[in-house]
Structure 1
Amino acid sequence: MTTSVAASTTVHHGLAAHEVVLLLGSDPHRGLTDREVAERLTRFGPNTLPAPKGAGLLVRILRQFHNPLIYVLLAAGAITAGLGEYVDSAVIFGVVVINAVVGFIQESKAEAALEGLRSMVRTRAKVVRDGHERIVPSDELVPGDLVLLEAGDKVPADLRLTRLVELRVDESALTGESVPVAKDEVVLPEAIPVADRHNMAYSGTLVTTGGGAGIVVATGAQTELGEIHRLVGAAETLATPLTRKLAGFSRILTVGILALAAATFGVGLWRGQDAVETFTAAIALAVGAIPEGLPAAVTITLAIGVARMARRRAVIRRLPAVETLGGTTVICTDKTGTLTENQMTVRTLWTPGDRYEVTGSGYAPDGTLHDSADAPAPVEADRALRWSLLAGAACNDAALTHEDGRWDVVGDPTEGAMLVVAAKAGLGVDRVAGLLPRLATIPFSSERQYMATLHRDTANGTHVVLAKGGVERVLDLCDAQLDADGTVRPLDRATALREADDLAGRGLRVLATAMRPATGPGENRPDGFGEDSLAGGMVLTGLQAMLDPPRAAATAAVAACRTAGIAVKMITGDHVATATAIAGQVGLLDERAEGAVLTGVELAALRTEDFPEAVNRAAVFARVSPEQKLRLVEALQARGHVVAMTGDGVNDAPALRQAGIGVAMGHSGTEVAKDAADMVLTDDDFATIEAAVEEGRGVFDNLTKFIAWTLPTNIGEGLVILAAIVFGAALPILPTQILWINMTTAVALGLMLAFEPKEASIMTRPPRDPDQPLLTRALVMRILLVSTLLVAGSWWLFQWELANGANLTEARTAAMNVFVVVEAFYLFSCRSLTRSAWRIGLFTNRWIVVGGTVQAVGQLAITYLPVMNTIFGTAPIGGDVWLRVLAVAVAASLVVAVDKRLRRPRS
């Protein structure tokens, strides 16, 4: 057999099935041989989507140094080394390297988490090779392979279908079409769009009913899925609010520090001071003013946020996405699987004699049936109810599975729901199979709109016909209805339709069930059972109304988001009635709001100038196309919103990439969606998004607290050196002492703020204004206040010690300790930027206590150990000096407390 496989650009849907088989050098019955598979696997590669091309190891390492503040530190380290200050230089370079290592490790952890998710979706495929059926890993498929499909299978590659039986495929992941698509083998025009290629089955889609076979025509990156994967991967990743603000903040700070250092050098020269000493002082000022701990603090604070989110079932792919969530102003969420369970559940059963409600949700057969008086449903006594349940369970091709503690359905979700409700009534699958073994089937089809089956009734040895399907179509088959006592009466079609309309108006999907004894000529034999004998002879047993129920935590999560000032909008391809019903149940809709629900047709009809306002006003978008999803995100961003967008399909990938933060589903999401997203939910639950928003706000709070804590020290150190140059005095603190202060306090004190618990009011605040700077005016004023207190306190004590007989080394040691002790006191104030430190509680963050203890030990060591005295130019000081240091710290704390009280927002 030849192996001249056609190029992937061939339009296979435009060819007859036998032409595709010949073109690919395959066999429609025996498939490929093992030798042909091995050759093609070498030629085409594995059937996997390529991992997004990441930066090389060297680039990833160098990327950790890409920050203006780091550039200044590197320059300062090089200059100090050139001046022979090797200790100073080593400390500076050490800080830079530590920052880089921390950033590299956290980035690697995020990529490892993503790779773990990618491996979770590896599937297996049933193929025919050498005339024998085999189960093989899907990544071993090659063009020309003959693949067999059945209900519940994930299509493993792009296939040209060669034979099929009532095959229906859920292509929502690829096209956004929420209803499974019926397949056939007809040859189609070449220009027909993907969504209408009914003779093809595409990689990543799901077989819901029926079965068939197809020839693999494309694998891996050559599939339709792979093409979209490539396009999305080529798109540019948008900067997050945090990265933009930090970049701007770093540039401004860098310019300010360099200008201040230049001014210091100029003033020193103007005053006639030694050029080398003045230059050294200017370098010391630059190093002192740079918050060396900021890059590490940002990385570690984000990493802690990542760890906290992972515990709440959210995997972060990009560190800055943690903070972006905290700034989210609009969440655009899918309905199915995110706000809902993605498990169809029968909620109401109507029979000609009564209506019953069903408890429990999802595919777990846990729940009860009860009547309007809340009494248990009389399943055995109510003949209509019993036969409706039996018809739903026996005339059914789905199967319930229970693996790893999770119930699931293989096959059509609506059929699965009917199996579950029957099991809740005591009519489990095994019992139904024993009561009514199936003999023949008329399968469901889009033309027929019903399914019928012939069974042997083991209870009395007769035969019975069961049917289920669309309400109007089943009613067309019926001329009678069954009462609770088993009486057969003439059909009241108007009442049945009225009940069906009422249930559908509640957003429920309604199916009708029917039965009758098999009495036709030869009908009790499988070969005599046919569609012609059904019309007009069936007996209506009832209606089963179902929906995909809201997740238990969705309502509370939506309410929490709205309390936090975050708008929640549902964007779904589902029908408007279903979307509206679910939105009402989870609290998305305000019934008084005009234009709260829009369909894709209505969106398309809007004028361009009216589109943004209509989108901003609406809360539910139903029957929306993939292109409209992207347009919705862009419209919201044009109004200044930070948008979080959820999605699971390939068609969602462009909107996920465009959004401020893309959120993909871990269970139901495609690889393309996950690769396009910033965050992946391992449980597909909307409540996890709300939890992630809460964590994101906490991360931003802690970053702001760190910046508000660290900048006064850096500014104070720079200003105290500038003051010494201006006044022609000796430096109150030396460059090595500045490096000690910055290095030890950032690690032992400042980073402890990364572990600060979230404040209780965090989800009652409105979202941050996306245009708001990293530091508000109030925080800038506080930073300047504390900087002034540090300069004044250290300068005063330095001069006091000199005036009272201390030598220069002792006076500098006292001034250095003022900086550290004031920082330690101020740290407690920064645990909340608005509330009093006493109201927070000392032990709510035990790491603060641990860090303070470590810092105290360090200060005692640098003050009293001879080797430290030699390295850092310090000297032992007496207890009276420590009392003066503490007095300065207490006074500074009281001033900050008064300022915080005066600036506290009035409640």
Structure 2
Amino acid sequence: MDTLDVKNWHQMSADEVVGCVQTDTLKGLDACDVEQRQQAQGLNRLTIKKGKSPLVLFLLQFNQPLVIILLAATLITFALKEWVDSGVIFAVVLVNAIIGFTQELKAIKAIEALSRGMEGTATVIRSGKKQIVSVADLVLGDLVLLQSGDKVPADVRLLRVRELQVDESALTGESVAVQKNSQQLTHDSQLADRKNMGYSSTLVTYGTAVGVVVATGDRTEIGRINALIAGADALATPLTRKIASFSAVLLWVILGLAGLTVLAGLMHGESLLNAFMAAVALAVGAIPEGLPAAMTIMLAIGVSKMAQRHAIIRKMPAVETLGSTTVICSDKTGTLTQNQMTVQRIFAGHELFDLTGVGYAPEGSIQQNAISVELATKNALVECLKAGLLCNDSRLVYTGTGWNIEGDPTEVALLTAALKAALERDALEQQLPRIDTLPFESQHQYMATLHTDAEHESLIYMKGSVERVLACCDQHYLDETQSCQIDRAVLEQTAHQLAANGLRVLAFARKRVSSQQTRVSHEDIAHGMSFVGLQAMMDPPRPEAISAVLACQRAGIQVKMITGDHVGTAAAIAHQIGLKSVASQESNFAISGHRLAEMDDQQMIQAVGQTAVFARVSPEQKLRLVKALQSRGEIVAMTGDGVNDAPALKQANIGVAMGVGGTEVAKEAADMILTDDNFSTIEAAVEEGRAVFDNLVKFIVWTIPTNIAEGIIILLAVMLGIVLPITPVQILWINMTTALFLGMTLIFEAKEPGIMERPPRDPKKSVLPRNMLVSVGLVSLTLVACAFALFEWALYQGQSLEVARTMAINALVFGEIFYLFNCRSLRYSMLSLGFFSNRWLIFGVLLMVLFQLLLSYSSIMNQLFGTAPLALTDWLHILAAGFTVYAITGSEKRLRCYFESRAIA
């Protein structure tokens, strides 16, 4: 059936659609048609793309330079019969592989979550009879019955509609339920504007409808999103890319130096075995065994800290990725805003009033020029509030822990506004009980209620769109005794000015009718109504989001809004929040999905750099926007809560899903989940991510000089033809114990001052800062000099080789201890940070000293590691060597920071 290729069902008339899918609008399909179409089209399910087997995915985790180095270290230590060290290193490799393997399953889980969203049953008409069938059994041409609470089972073209409202937020990002109809639309109608369509997995919130299935399975909008998720790139994080690059370079350097060591040994007449063992010692010394463990533990602690700040990390490297973020693409509703409609302005009796307070909680007041108004003198204002309270089907209930809403958020906002004026609903409803209702209908755009008062007089209250209400009015209500001729032009201009500020405007009217009237009809309100006032509302920005956006912008991070709401509303909120763009024209501050559809890739890349707000965008456009930003070299964090956000969440460097209002599909595709759906949590997570990376860099700057120094010591000894000052097993002792007791304590360093005042790291730069290369080289040479000096001095004094090597080992370890205090910050001195501010570091140093004493004086340790006890004077020399390292590195840091500050000035 060639109709499978038809996509623009919304632009076709109902008769054209029915003819195209060859069905009957009353009887539906018969059993034979259903069977034939199922055979031809397949089941109404999403296809899960087959990927690599779990075993292959797991084995691929070992195909990385750093892991190769660690596996080599495992084999070397195993060959040296150092079972504990070999087991520890391999355990680190295995843990990292398990973590990576778990992360690889993210996309598969997202698609499975999508597929689960299409399960269940549907009510259809087949052979003229109503039947309940499995959603998977639906075919093109099936007549589907929809009612409140149903999940739309496939993409359907609506044929007959009665007050249908559908929550499409998961698919389009639209923050309120969409009023549906069956009218034919234009070809260029965007997804969020296709009111004659119902899409698979969206939720019916009100009304009923009959629709014909026009797409099933992979051909639905959800199916297209499924394909986008499968096709989105799973990007490596900045940290993993930098570590991989760093490890690859390190791998070749180690292999080159090891080969040079073997060659030098042979040239000095050493046996091949001795030359090879020297090369093994160099390799073991140069491999930073503690780096993967430190990275994993630092990220894990970052995960724990973020959980305390309402951010759940599903993928550990995402902690560091946040610290590298250069652009945050945020949804609007609930993330930057309260997700609680709030009346902010009221126009009544020719006067404009402001309402304070945000959200559904009735906390605030009604003011003019920042002064609370006396309601007793504002009859028109009170009547406008009464109209919003009585012409209302929703409820606002206090549960003891907060305010819960029952019904439409717009109507609840009217209830809150009335409560701010101390109008009690129960009391008003007793005074003016409702006796009839004209419910809201999309084609009429208004609602009306009929009430009777104590004098048995009847009163109609009406609320609706400004255009429709004004068309019914010929008087402007001032109070119970007077009114004036209505000036529609002035009222329309006032409504337009309110709407221009992103406010949703509702108009209110009233009319006295005969006391004998017990019903209200459209004819009753078609004319003769008295205009009461306007109430203008919006979903206001979160105050904490405003400060968080400002903090991000100070930190050099661009914040962009990507939303399914209308351009005007989104732009108004963006201005209130403080979003900035470099666009020269205001028209380019916010761009609609319709304009994006007309752009090619190059134009899109240019637009994303200038524009702050993207509104009414489709899932494909969200994905294109993220890719366009990444093509500019940006590290992108993308927030989202709906199915439509899942492809972009997966494509982004870090996907951030909403934990409260988010769909399971979005959560499975994301790297991080916000448990409070608050943008300020993202800012806090960025700050935490920067702190994690800072501490990781400190660890690398601290550990690399020791590895370099150990390698140089071995290489020099071989080239000079002298005995090795330290042996491979002694090197392993130094590397593993110092990494555990000293290096790991840097994890607990507090965030440095001004961490959110500096720009994001350049993702192209190495993990080891270029300005630290001099420091690393200087420390390495100082450690080499101290170790060689004490080793040769001990031999010169007639001490044994074991004592000389113990001196060299302790020279390196105590050099690391003193250097550790300088590495607590690469910018600030130890004294400015506070000597005891990191108690874990003090505790680690004490443990390290204790273990060095055991290494030197325990007979068992002496036998295992070839060490010997030292005299008190030997320790004085060792401490002097450590202080020398501290003095040199401290002086270098002061000079470096001085010249850097001069360069900035």
Q: TM-score, normalised by structure 2?
A: 0.86
1:149 aligns with 2:147: yes
Aligned runs of 1:455-534 on 2, under 5 Å? 455-484=450-479, 486-519=481-514, 524-526=517-519, 529-534=520-525
Which of 599, 603, 613 does residue 591 from structure 2 map onto? 599
1:875 Cα deviation from its structure 2 partner: 1.3
- Identify the range of structure 1 (745-754 vs 55-64) with the bigger mean alpha-carbon deviation: 55-64
- 2: CA distance, partners of 1:834 / 1:771: 22
Aligned position for 2:417: 421
The answer to whether the Cα contact below 8 Å between 1:172 and 1:649 also exists between their aligned partners in 2 is yes
Q: 2:838 aligns with which of 832, 845, 852?
A: 845
Q: Which residue of 2 aligns with 1:768?
A: 761
Aligned to 1:538: 529
Measured in 1, the distance between the counterparts of 2:795 and 2:94 equals: 41
Q: Any conservation in 2 of the 1:597–1:622 contact (CA below 8 Å)?
A: no
1:386 equivalenced with 2:366 (yes/no): no
Amino acid at match of 2:477: L
Is the 8 Å Cα contact of residues 477 and 484 (structure 2) preserved in structure 1?
A: yes
Q: Secondary structure at the match of 1:694?
A: helix
Q: Deviations over 1:625-681 (max 9, x none)?
A: 444433333333333222222223333333333332222222333333333332222
Equivalent residue runs for 1:78-97 within 5 Å? 78-79=75-76, 81-82=78-79, 85-87=80-82, 90-97=84-91
- Give the conservation status (yes or no) of the 8 Å contact 1:106–1:299: no
Between 388-397 and 14-23, the greater mean CA deviation after superposition: 14-23
Decide whether aligned partners of structure 1 residues 178 and 332 sit closer, same or farther in structure 2, where only a CA change above 3 A counts.
Answer: same
Matched with 1:34 is: none
Does the aligned pair in 1 maintain the 2:107–2:650 contact within 8 Å? no
TM-aligned CA deviation for residue 691 of structure 1 = 1.1
Note if 1:588 corresponds to 2:579. Answer: yes
- What is the SS of the residue equivalent to 1:385? helix
The match for 2:435 among 436, 439, 454 is 439
Q: Which one-letter code corresponds to 2:873 in the other structure?
A: D
Label 1:645 to 1:889 Cα distance change in 2 as closer, same or farther (>3 A): same
Shift of 1:201: 3.2
- The CA deviation at 1:565 is 1.1
The farther-off stretch of 225-234 and 211-220 is: 211-220
The partner residue of 1:255 within 246, 252, 257 is 252
Q: Could you tell me how far apart the structure 2 residues matched to 1:738 and 1:841 are?
A: 32
Residue 113 of structure 1 contacts residue 315 of structure 1 at CA under 8 Å; is this kept in 2? no
**What letter corresponds to residue 147 of structure 2 in structure 1?**
L
The residue number in structure 2 matching 1:867 is 860
1:35-114 aligned at under 5 Å gives the runs 58=55, 62=59, 65-79=62-76, 81-82=78-79, 85-87=80-82, 90-101=84-95, 104=98
Secondary structure of 1:842 counterpart: coil
Summarize deviations over 1:450-470 as a string: whole Å, max 9, x none: 2222x3334433222111111
Tell me how far apart the structure 2 counterparts of residues 177 and 348 of structure 1 sit (CA, whole Å): 23
What is the distance in 2 between the residues matched to 1:709 and 1:271?
Answer: 34
1:308 aligns with 2:305: yes
CA RMSD in angstroms, aligned pairs only = 4.1
- Aligned position for 1:320: 317
Residues 219 and 887 of structure 1: is their aligned pair in 2 closer, same or farther, counting only changes over 3 Å?
Answer: farther
What amino acid maps onto 1:482 in structure 2? Y
Structure 1 portions without partners, runs of 5+ = 1-6, 27-42, 131-137
Superposition deviation, residue 710 in structure 1: 0.8
2:353 and 2:76 map into 1 onto residues whose CA distance is: 83
Secondary structure in 1 matching 2:693? helix
Conserved? CA contact 1:103–1:299, under 8 Å: no
CA distance, structure 2, for counterparts of residue 113 and residue 861 of structure 1: 50
**Residues 77 and 85 in structure 2, CA contact (< 8 A), matched pair in contact too:** no
Q: Does the aligned pair in 1 maintain the 2:120–2:135 contact within 8 Å?
A: no
Q: CA 1:478–1:211 in structure 2 vs 1: closer, same or farther (change >3 Å)?
A: same
Deviation at 1:605, TM superposition (A): 6.1
Decide which of 637, 657, 662 is 1:644's aligned counterpart: 637
**Percent identity between the two aligned chains:** 49
Is 1:295 aligned to 2:292, yes or no?
A: yes
Question: 2:806 corresponds to which residue?
Answer: 813
Number of residues of Structure 1 aligned to a counterpart in Structure 2: 873
Q: CA deviation at 1:58?
A: 4.9
CA offsets 1:857-893 (integer angstroms, 9 cap, x no match): 2212221111111111111111111111110000111
| Cα separation, partners in 2 of 1:627 and 1:825, compared to 1, 3 Å | same
* 2:39 corresponding residue in structure 1: none
Q: Which amino acid aligns with 1:706?
A: F
Q: Could you tell me which amino acid in structure 2 is paired with residue 580 of structure 1?
A: A
- Output the amino acid matched with 2:638: M
Maintained 8 Å contact 1:176/1:626 = no
Larger deviation: 770-779 or 155-164?
A: 155-164
Instruction: Name the stretch that deviates more: 361-370 or 709-718.
Output: 361-370
User: 1: distance between equivalents of 2:582 and 2:262?
Assistant: 68
Listed one character per residue, the Cα deviations across residues 384-413 of structure 1 (whole Å, up to 9, x for unaligned) are: 222212221222233335568353444433
Partner Cα distance (2:429, 2:217) in 1:
42
Structure 2: 5+ residue runs without aligned partners? Answer: 10-16, 33-41, 126-132
Q: Which residue in the other structure is 2:333 paired with?
A: 336
In structure 1, the partner of 2:128 is: none
Q: Which region of structure 1 is more displaced relative to structure 2, 120-129 or 355-364? A: 120-129
1:195 deviates by: 6.0
How much does 1:740 deviate? 0.9
Rounded Cα–Cα distance in structure 2 between residues aligned with 1:514 and 1:188: 32
Q: Which residue type is aligned with residue 691 of structure 1? A: A
Specify the SS of the correspondent of 1:765: coil
Pick closer, same or farther for the CA change 1:91–1:310 going to 2, 3 Å.
same
8 Å contact from structure 2 (residues 43, 136) kept in 1: no
Q: Following TM superposition, by how much is the alpha carbon of 1:770 offset from its aligned partner in structure 2, in angstroms? A: 1.9
**What is the CA-CA distance between 1:57 and the residue it aligns to?**
6.4
Out of 341, 348, 366, the residue aligned to residue 369 of structure 1 is: 366
| Distance in structure 1 (CA, Å) of the matches to 2:150 and 2:674 | 23
Aligned residues of 2:121 and 2:134 also touching (Cα < 8 A): no
The residue type equivalent to 1:506 in the other structure is: N
Aligned match of 1:38 = none
1:20–1:186 distance in 2 versus 1, CA, 3 Å: farther
Amino acid at match of 1:475: L
- Scaled by the length of structure 1, the TM-score of the pair is 0.86
Which one is further off, 438-447 or 223-232? 223-232
Q: 1:628 to 1:110 in 2, by over 3 A?
A: closer
Q: How many Å separate the matches in 1 of 2:775 and 2:188? A: 66
From 505, 524, 542, the equivalent of 1:551 is 542
Aligned to 1:30: none
1:787 is aligned to 2:780: yes
The alignment status of 1:879 with 2:860, answered yes or no, reads no
Contact 1:667–1:682 under 8 Å retained in 2: yes
Displacement of 1:332 in angstroms is 2.1
Q: Which residue does the alignment assign to 2:569?
A: 578
Question: Cα distance 1:587–1:276, how it changes in 2: closer, same or farther (>3 A)?
Answer: same
Query: How far apart in 1 are the matches of 2:428 and 2:68?
Result: 74
Whether the 8 Å CA contact 2:390–2:429 is kept in 1: the answer is yes
- Matched residue type, 1:471: V
Given the superposition, is the C-alpha separation of residues 466 and 51 from structure 1 closer, same or farther in structure 2, using an over 3 Å criterion? Answer: farther
CA–CA separation in structure 1 for the residues paired with 2:843 and 2:454? 75
Greater shift, 818-827 or 622-631, is seen at 622-631
Name the CA distance, whole Å, in 2 between partners of 1:579 and 1:440: 37
Q: Which amino acid aligns with 1:366?
A: E
Please state whether the residue corresponding to 1:169 is helix, strand or coil. strand
Residue aligned with 2:762, SS: coil
> Corresponding residue for 1:354?
351
Asked if 1:754 is matched to 2:747, the reply is yes
Write the mapping of 1:712-723 to structure 2, written as runs, cut at 5 A: 712-723=705-716
8 Å Cα contact 1:381/1:485 also seen in 2: no
